[in-house]
Amino acid sequence: MMNSLLVGLGGFLGAISRYTISQRLNKPIPGFPYGTLTVNLVGAFLLGWIAGGDLAEEGLLFFGVGFMGAFTTFSTLHLESIQLGKPGRWGKTFLYLGLTYTGGILIALLGYLLGTALFSG
């Protein structure tokens, strides 16, 4: 029961954080989903950091499963990718996907390495 509460509370906070950041970053520069890109890249880094760290099971459930699970949003990524390409602007779609996937993998690795360096030893 406690594990479910940790995941649920983390998810609640992660979803609110994602919504707030996406709303604030998407409005000033219309035409490109900077907010979703930001939360996905920050989320990749933080999840890598969490995985590289030495968190107790409760911390992993709250931050890794709950918060990060709700904070990052690949379903929105895919919808926005389709919307970017609708008017024939496939260049923006491929830029967005390239930044998200390549950047996400690299920044998750950086977070993992940083978490391992900070929490080991």
Q: What is the per-residue pLDDT across 56-77, written as a single tens digit (0 to 9) for each?
A: 999 999 999 999 999 998 888 8
pLDDT band at 121 (very low <50, low <70, confident <90, very high): low
Looking at residue 4, what is its pLDDT?
97
Yes or no: say if 52 and 119 are a contact pair by the CB < 8 Å rule. yes
pLDDT band at 95 (very low <50, low <70, confident <90, very high): very high
Beta strands in 50-98 (DSSP E): none
The 3-state DSSP composition of the chain as helix, strand, coil percent (nearest 5) reads: 85, 0, 15
- Rg of the Cα atoms in the chain: 16
Looking at residue 106, what is its pLDDT?
97
H or E, element range at 45? helix 34-52
Q: Is 69 annotated as a binding residue?
A: yes
Higher pLDDT, 17 or 89: 17
- pTM here? 0.84
Q: Is 76 annotated as a binding residue?
A: no
